[in-house]
């Protein structure tokens, strides 16, 4: 008995998609290299992978000079995620989750022109997925008393006990 995961989408796309570890999706229209995708970031801190690379026994990232292929999905992940004890099975859930983010970003979004307003030059970025800010889900924490009494309450109890014992001795 075995399991299989296919990273190929049933709907083809005509651009390059790069999904960041946090779910942010970038789409590139023109051929782009790994170096261009990681521009502005520390290259030793973020690495680009294909799904097949992540799910293989040796998770080696793409080299900086590799051109990314149109119609392919890539993952931009932090170096810190590559621990020696992490297996391809551990990456399976991550690949599924990030792949679904990429699929959902393709549905019904209009493309921008891909030009940079600052320089007027053609920018390889076609569109990025708009993200909603993260909001935590918080529940109320109810504080429980452990029936612990303060020192002053204990002193009051001792004085009450001694007063009762004196009163009972007087009555006898």
Q: Is residue 113 one of the residues assigned to a domain?
A: yes
Q: Is residue 34 one of the residues assigned to a domain?
A: yes
| Contact indicator for 85, 117 with CB cutoff of 8 Å | no
Residue 53: domain span: 16-128
Residue 45: how many CA atoms within 13 Å on its side-chain side? 6
Closest CA to 96 of 12, 47, 23, 14: 23
| Dihedral in degrees, nearest 10, Cα atoms 157, 161, 167, 171 | 140
Query: How many structural domains comprise the chain?
Result: 1
Instruction: Give the predicted TM-score (pTM) of the model.
Output: 0.52
CA 122 to chain centre: 31
Which band of pLDDT confidence, cut at 50, 70 and 90, is reported for residue 144? low
Q: Is residue 116 one of the residues assigned to a domain?
A: yes
Q: Is residue 99 one of the residues assigned to a domain?
A: yes
Q: Is residue 169 one of the residues assigned to a domain?
A: no
Q: What is the pLDDT of residues 35-78, one digit of tens each?
A: 888 877 665 687 888 888 878 777 688 888 888 888 888 888 88
Q: What is the pLDDT of residues 97-132, one digit of tens each?
A: 888 777 777 654 434 333 333 333 333 444 444 556
């Amino acid at each position: 008995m075995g399991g299989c995961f296919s990273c190929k989408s049933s709907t083809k796309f005509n651009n390059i998609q790069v999904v960041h570890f946090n779910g942010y999706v970038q789409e590139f229209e023109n051929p782009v290299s790994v170096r261009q995708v990681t521009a502005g970031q520390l290259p030793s801190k973020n690495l680009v992978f294909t799904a097949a690379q992540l799910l293989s026994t040796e998770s080696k990232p793409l080299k900086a000079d590799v051109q990314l292929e149109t119609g392919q999905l890539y993952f931009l992940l932090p170096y810190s995620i590559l621990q020696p004890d992490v297996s391809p099975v551990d990456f399976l859930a991550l690949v599924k989750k990030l792949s679904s983010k990429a699929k959902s970003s393709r549905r019904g979004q209009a493309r921008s022109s891909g030009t940079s307003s600052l320089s007027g030059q053609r920018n390889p970025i076609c569109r990025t997925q708009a993200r909603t800010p993260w909001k935590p889900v918080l529940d109320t924490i109810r504080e429980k008393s452990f029936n612990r009494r303060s020192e002053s309450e204990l002193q009051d109890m001792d004085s009450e006990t001694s007063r009762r014992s004196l009163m009972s001795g007087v009555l006898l």
